[in-house]
Amino acid sequence: MRTLRMTKFQVRARTAFVGCALMVGAGAVLTTYSTLVAPPATAATDAKLSSKNVEQINKVSGFFNGFKTLTGQFVQVGPRGNISNGTFYISKPGKMRFEYNPPSPYLIVSDGTWVVIMNRKNKRTDHYPLSSTPLQLVLSKNVDLMKQARILGVKTEDGSIKLTLAAKNKAVPGKLTLTYSEERSEIQEWAVIDGEGRRTTISLSEMSSGGNHAASLFKVKRPKKQRERGENR
């Protein structure tokens, strides 16, 4: 397995998604959805949590535990204001697909182990371990953000909970902010912020859970010569 040069990935992925994406979300988160990972940021301080904050965090965890599969539409706004959109598919644990509508050439797929960014225009494919992205926090089988993440901040704003978190493993760079609508009981958007303050946001809509996604959605054809970044651990 290889350690990634996150700066290169940030530059390449900021116009794509894990999400996600986060994702979270990902990017995300599923990012980036949106960026999935980011360069190392300055040291972040864990938030001091009240009992209400703990309850809010558990609500967000409950959303991710409330489905095994999820489908919906997304709109992505990159650091430079560039906008793209498309359809996303999530199948827990670990699987995610973000299909970008033209003119964007990108397709981002996580097969549960690797996050793969495909540029369908120039036929370029890059691979990154899911475990090296913040998306691992929200694509796991059982999500418990209180235990699995560093909570950097919890805010309530316009009826929504804004939760900023990072991986407990400080070697995994990037911060992930989730916006959870208490009225709708669902995630409205997530954002990834890199060490230079660049923000990529994914807004989600028309979401539906349940059903089975075709396994082919998450299959990754790995080339003989993978364009992975970095060096052997």
Residue 71 near residue 88 (C-beta atoms within 8 A)? yes
pLDDT digits (tens, 9 = 90+) for 157-170: 999 999 999 878 77
List Cα–Cα distances, 209 to 28, 153, 163, in angstroms: 18, 28, 22
Is 99 part of a structural domain of the chain?
yes
pLDDT digits (tens, 9 = 90+) for 18-38: 333 333 333 333 333 334 444
What was the pLDDT predicted at 66? 94
Q: Mean pLDDT for the chain?
A: 78
Least confident of 12-21, 89-98, 103-112, 156-165: 12-21
Is 225 part of a structural domain of the chain?
no
Average pLDDT, integer, range 9-22: 35
Is 139 part of a structural domain of the chain?
yes
Query: Measured at the alpha carbon of residue 95, what is the angle toward residues 90 and 96, in degrees to the nearest 5?
Result: 50
Query: Structure pTM?
Result: 0.75
Quote the number of domains for the chain.
1
Share of the chain above pLDDT 90, in %: 54
Residue 14 near residue 129 (C-beta atoms within 8 A)? no
Is 232 part of a structural domain of the chain?
no
Beta strand segments in 11-123, E: 19-22, 25-29, 69-77, 83-91, 95-100, 106-111, 114-119
Is 105 part of a structural domain of the chain?
yes
Domain containing 196 equals 2-208
Is 233 part of a structural domain of the chain?
no
Higher pLDDT, 96 or 40: 96
Higher pLDDT, 32 or 54: 54
Domain holding 60: CATH number?
A: 2.50.20.10
Is 151 part of a structural domain of the chain?
yes
Give the list of residues 6+ apart from residue 43 with CB closer than 8 angstroms, or none: none
What was the pLDDT predicted at 3? 34
The C-alpha atoms of residue 82 and residue 98 are separated, in whole angstroms, by 17
What was the pLDDT predicted at 225? 53
What was the pLDDT predicted at 175? 85
Is 90 part of a structural domain of the chain?
yes
pLDDT digits (tens, 9 = 90+) for 181-214: 999 999 999 898 876 778 899 999 999 999 899 9
Give the list of residues 6+ apart from residue 225 with CB closer than 8 angstroms, or none: none
